[in-house]
Chains A and B, each alone.
Chain A
Amino acid sequence: SQTIHQWPATLVQPVGSPLSLECTVEGTSNPNLYWYRQAAGRGLQLLFYSVGIGQISSEVPQNLSASRPQDRQFILSSKKLLLSDSGFYLCAGDRMASGANVLTFGAGSRLTVL
């Protein structure tokens, strides 16, 4: 089975400070990996996805970036946080299960920008 680890679980950062959220995957090799953001009371917004090492696709323009330095590591970064970056960030990996592409999510990282 696949397990997604995310950290930190919670962080409070001032506007203009940098950000680094990390995600690692256990149990599968070469998964597609995803970063989602969930604003309070809202649905999921896909930010980035990756099909392999060094391959990143961005879904929305923003001051965030992502990197995949290793097969099972996916990092979300920012050089200067904005107030609007506050939210709940979720990393996910996919796997095939009974003919369906199923996502496994991490526990999330809650970011508050002050």
Chain B
Amino acid sequence: GDSVTQMEGPVTLSEEAFLTINCTYTATGYPSLFWYVQYPGEGLQLLLKATKADDKGSNKGFEATYRKETTSFHLEKGSVQVSDSAVYFCALSATGGSYIPTFGRGTSLIVHP
């Protein structure tokens, strides 16, 4: 079945540092890929998405590129802020078969001033 693997957290960074959170997936066909973010005490919200190979999703300074050859969708940000502290979830949604999204376990990001 489909699966998503994220790097273990927590990831701890100083403000203005470069961020990478790794995400790889296994799926049949050509899934859509997503990053969701969960701020403390809240529900998840969509951060960015990509629907086909080589697409780049971007939002709020975050970027991720759909790499079919490496089945990856790594999240990056050039300069993190304290307000970026949250849990980040990588997810996929298959284009055929089950429509139910598959989530990774989440990666906690802590940014210190």
Which of A11-19, A39-47, A62-70, A71-79 makes up part of the contact surface? A39-47
Min CB distance, A76 to chain B, in Å?
Answer: 15
Q: List 7 A-B contacts (CB under 8 A).
A: A32-B99, A43-B103, A92-B43, A94-B101, A100-B51, A105-B44, A105-B45
Which residue numbers of B lie inside 8 Å of A, CB to CB? 32, 34, 36, 41-46, 49, 51, 89, 91, 93, 99-101, 103-106
Which residue numbers of A lie inside 8 Å of B, CB to CB? 4, 6, 32, 34, 42-44, 46, 49, 90, 92, 94, 97-108
Among B44, B91, B104, point to the contact of A90 (Cβ < 8 A).
B44
Interface centre among B89, B101, B106 (most CB of A within 10 A): B101
Q: Find chain A residues with CB under 8 A from B49 CB.
A: 97-98, 100, 102
Contact indicator A107/B51 (Cβ below 8 Å): no
Q: Find chain B residues with CB under 8 A from A44 CB.
A: 44, 89, 103, 106
Q: Find chain B residues with CB under 8 A from A32 CB.
A: 99
Min CB distance, B27 to chain A, in Å?
Answer: 13
Min CB distance, A51 to chain B, in Å?
Answer: 9
Q: A107-B43, A108-B43 are in contact. Are A102 and B34 (CB under 8 A)?
A: yes
Roughly how many angstroms separate A4 CA and B105 CA in the complex, as a whole number? 23
Given contacts A44-B106, A106-B43, 11 further A-B contacts (CB under 8 A): A44-B103, A98-B51, A99-B51, A100-B49, A102-B34, A103-B46, A103-B101, A105-B36, A105-B45, A107-B42, A108-B43
Q: A100-B32, A101-B32 are in contact. Are A42 and B42 (CB under 8 A)?
A: no
Contact indicator B44/A94 (Cβ below 8 Å): no
Roughly how many angstroms separate A106 CA and B43 CA in the complex, as a whole number? 6
Contact indicator A101/B45 (Cβ below 8 Å): no
